[in-house]
Amino acid sequence: MNGVHDMGGMHGMGPVVPEPEEPVFHHRWEARAYALTRAMAAFGRWNIDASRHQRELIPPAEYLRMSYYEKWLTGLTELLLRNGFITPEELASGRAAADAAKGTPALPAEKVAAFIERGAPASRASASVPRFQPGQRVRARNVNSAGHTRLPRYVRGKPGVIDRVHGVFVFPDTNAHFQGESPQHVYSVRFEARDLWGEAHSAAGAVYVDLWDDYLDAADGLPISTGRSP
Amino acid sequence: MKSKDSHHSHHEGQRLPSDPALQVLALESILVEKGLVDPKALDALIESYEHKIGPHNGAKVVARAWSDPAYKARLLADATAAIAELGFGGLQGEHMVAVENTPAVHNLVVCTLCSCYPYPILGLPPVWYKSAPYRSRAVIDPRGVLRELGLQLPEECEIRVWDSTAEVRYLVVPQRPSGTQSMTEEELAGLVTRDAMIGVALVQSPQAGGPP
């Protein structure tokens, strides 16, 4: 979706402000929100793409106003409601319903270390041959999906060059909507700054973006800017 | 929005508490009461990221790469495997790529779409990395962003920005500073900062008091 989360290249967001000696979490509730999100994701009722999309659905003005973990909390709350883990009445009262069934944690304490060590690889075994090879010219498709996508607006329709082939990965555009994993090759594509942003930006160099096969068209013979001005 | 609905809305029916601290408290207590969450698992997750997993892991990887050319070659060829040699990997570092800074090329990592970051070697991302200013500007004005953060690169140095749009996570291998020839791997690791491994800073020589 063409949401406000897709920020690459936007102006007016202000300066980058680092915080010296920044703590990992600024408040205890941030730590609990982070950990709750991981613990509930362990049930496998949604996936990482669905949870990213849930945060993208936060209305733009709210998205910009909220702190990072407020967005996580909002996304988690929606997922818990939609998947029946909690009811609106429980959320309103802060108590489990008197007749609520008793469940079993998907992530008990003794499994946390293994969960962190194992992670959740998004690569998939596949014998498929990549459509593109390093050095090959491509063009990012101009697609404006109303659903979840990891094709940023700033590269759509732009020419680039395959830098490397990462392998076969789950496709977020279908996975986020529970329409299957549609595994396909992911490539690192090099876009010259000038091709993305125009002549005035030619000194900036290049941006490398990881793009799935379905985001790309072959563009043999398409002119690509050289890295810098002559 | 500390507005009219910030009072105890749970007495009024369906509204969410607008105070996130109260909302998290409510969620946790409901989920624990229903047997869906083990509060000790939450403690263990938090403990891991507050005390065990952080940039000191990545610093060991960089120091090894500086000290051992064969390791550096393995790191640049297959970062996931090379990082696993030092015992790091897993959640949000399942698929790693290392990119090397040189006098001619400077690498910078961003996630314009959300907050993707290599947890096993850097821990959880700082607020500025997840913020709208960094996400919006790193790809269109990397030199400006770096200048703002105190890093002025020579005009002829090419900047490569890596936008983490997929499940691949990036580690920047900074340049080894001068005056460190006699340092041990452990001492070298002590020089390597989080910001240098994101690509928004250089690693300073031990003699230098800080950025010029």
Residue B13's pLDDT band (boundaries 50, 70, 90)? very low
Is the full-model pTM beyond 0.90? Answer: yes
User: Which tokens is B58 given?
Assistant: 């990545």
Question: How many whole angstroms from its chain centre is CA B156?
Answer: 27
Average pLDDT for chain A? 94
Is the confidence at residue A190, as pLDDT, over 80? yes
Residue B9 pLDDT > 80 = no
How distant is the Cα of B71 from the closest Cα of chain A, in angstroms? 21
Q: Which tokens is A122 given?
A: 């998004």
Kindly state whether residues A34 and A113 are assigned to the same domain. yes
Q: Which of A56, A88, A118 is the last residue of a domain?
A: A118
Cβ distance A31 to B92 less than 8 Å, yes or no, reads: no
pLDDT tens-digit profile of A148-182?
Answer: 999 999 999 999 999 999 999 999 999 999 999 99
Which residues, numbered 110 to 149 in chain A, qualify as contacts with chain B under a Cβ-Cβ cut-off of 8 Å?
A: 111-113, 115-123
**Stretch B142-163: mean pLDDT:** 95
- The band of B11, judged by pLDDT with boundaries at 50, 70 and 90, is very low
Cα–Cα distance, B118 to B57 (Å, whole number): 11
Q: Is A151 on the interface with B (CB under 8 A)?
A: yes
Location of each CATH 3.90.330.10 domain in chain B: 54-198
Write out chain B residues lying below 8 Å of A96, CB-based. 30, 33-34
Residue range of the domain that includes A85: 28-118
The interface residues of chain B toward chain A in range 96-115, judged by CB-CB distance below 8 A, are: 97, 112-115
A178: domain CATH number is 2.30.30.50
Is A223 a member of any domain?
no
A108 and A175 share one domain: no
CATH class of the region B54-198: alpha beta
- What is the mean pLDDT of the segment spanning B114-129? 98
Residue A51 and residue A113 in one domain: yes
- Residue-wise over B33-72: b if at least 16 C-beta within 10 A, else e? bbebbbbebbebbbebbeeebbbebbbbbbbbbbbeeebb
User: Structural domain tally of chain A?
Assistant: 2
Is the domain of A143 the same as that of A210?
A: yes
| Chain A residue with minimum CA distance to B157 | A205
Pairwise pLDDT comparison (B177 vs B15), residue with the higher score: B177
Instruction: Look at residue A110 and tell me if it is in a domain.
Output: yes
Question: Could you tell me if residue A174 is inside a domain?
Answer: yes
Query: What is the average per-residue pLDDT within A198-225?
Result: 87
- Of B153, B81, B71, B149, nearest to B110 by C-alpha is B149
Q: Is A15 exposed, middle or buried (0-12, 13-18, 19+ CB in 10 A)?
A: middle
- Residue A10 scores a pLDDT above 50: yes
**Pseudo-torsion of CA B184, B190, B194, B199, nearest 10°?**
-50
pLDDT on residue B18: 76
CA distance B26 to A140: 44
Query: What pLDDT shows up at residue A202?
Result: 73
Q: How far apart are CA A162 and CA A211, in angstroms?
A: 10
CB contact under 8 A, A205 and B161: yes
Q: Considering the domain boundaries, does residue A33 fall inside one? A: yes
Counting residues of chain B whose pLDDT is more than 70, the rounded percentage is 90
One domain for residues A113 and A141: no
Do A158 and A211 belong to one domain?
yes
Residues A37 and A113 in one domain: yes
Q: How confident is the model over A32-62, as pLDDT tens digits?
A: 999 999 999 999 999 999 999 999 999 999 9
Please tell me the predicted confidence (pLDDT) of residue B192.
Answer: 98
Give the residue, A222 or A98, on which the prediction is more confident: A98
Does residue A65 form part of some domain? Answer: yes
Same domain, yes or no, for A103 and A42? yes
Asked whether residue A16 is assigned to any structural domain, the reply reads: no
Answer whether A163's CB lies under 8 Å from A187's CB: yes
The reply to whether A156 and A102 lie within a common domain is no
CATH number reported for the structural domain that contains residue A96 in this entry = 1.10.472.20
Whether A99 shows a pLDDT value over 50: the answer reads yes
* Same-domain check for residues A110 and A163: no
User: What average pLDDT score do residues A68-78 get?
Assistant: 97
Answer yes or no: is A87 within a domain.
yes
Here the tokens at position A224 are 């690509």
Quick check: is A127 in a domain? no
pLDDT per residue as tens digits for the range B196-210:
999 999 999 987 554
* Nearest Cα residue to B124 out of A25, A44, A198: A25
**Pair of tokens at residue A91:** 């959320």
